[in-house]
Amino acid sequence: MYIPKCFAETRADLLAEFIRRHSFGTLITNDRSGGLCATHLPFLFREAGTDGRTSLISHMAQQNDQWKSLRPETEVLAIFQGPHAYVSPRFYVSKLAVPTWNYTAVHVYGRPRIIDDATQVRQILGDLVTAYEGTGESAWRLSDLPEDFIEKMSRSIVAFAIDVTRMEGKFKLNQNRSEEDQVSVAQALEQSADEDSRGIAELMRKAR
């Protein structure tokens, strides 16, 4: 990813928090013929444990041939995107300006490995449900389903982990403009009816 120094975000804890908050990502792989393939998936981010590996965990439908591209010897890319917003020249105090786009994104590179142990697959499915359902009394649980149905559905998916080799963060928030311009843009965006624009305004204020 092209990242000018002023837009780079390298703090590992912040990147991990970003991925957890914006965990519906895009997995991009190369198939054996050299073609590109992409699938949009929910991910779990697991920081280094006793095995020393930081990983992304997910699964896809077995009928999705992309899983055949998940080979340990071939690096893959997962992209996570946060708020983004159009920035008009009229938002600036400075007169010399052109339209641009403020955005936040994290790219995660790693080596994939298929997880075919039935117990581990079941654990991954349960962890994904808990991550998105929460733990409240009304939360749906995988165990609410009949056991034979769970087994059938588990056989129809391919679970995998991506052992992270590097992460790149780009938070383009007008850091290359004067403080006066940054304040002016944030004020304009926070008045928008668009949720992403307001999200960018909040991030701009935090960054300052």
Question: Which of the four pLDDT bands, split at 50, 70 and 90, describes residue 84?
Answer: very high
pLDDT tens digits, one per residue of 88-109: 999 999 989 999 999 999 999 9
What average pLDDT does this structure show over 63-68? 96
Tokens 């403080």, located at residue: 179
SS3 30: strand
Instruction: Give residue 167's pLDDT.
Output: 97
Amino acid present at 154: S
Instruction: Give residue 51's pLDDT.
Output: 76
Question: Which of the four pLDDT bands, split at 50, 70 and 90, describes residue 14?
Answer: very high
Question: Which of the four pLDDT bands, split at 50, 70 and 90, describes residue 186?
Answer: very high
Instruction: Give residue 201's pLDDT.
Output: 98
Instruction: Give residue 43's pLDDT.
Output: 98
Q: Which phi and psi (to 5°) does residue 30 adopt?
A: -105, 130
What average pLDDT does this structure show over 32-49? 90
pLDDT tens digits, one per residue of 108-158: 999 999 999 999 999 999 999 999 998 888 899 888 899 999 999 999 999
Round the average pLDDT of the chain to a whole number and report it. Answer: 94
207: pLDDT strictly greater than 90:
no
Task: Please tell me the class of the 5-178 domain.
Answer: mainly beta
7: pLDDT strictly greater than 80:
yes
- What's the pTM? 0.92
SS3 131: helix
Instruction: Give residue 31's pLDDT.
Output: 83
Report the DSSP pairing between strands 76-87 and 100-115. antiparallel
Rg (CA), the chain: 20
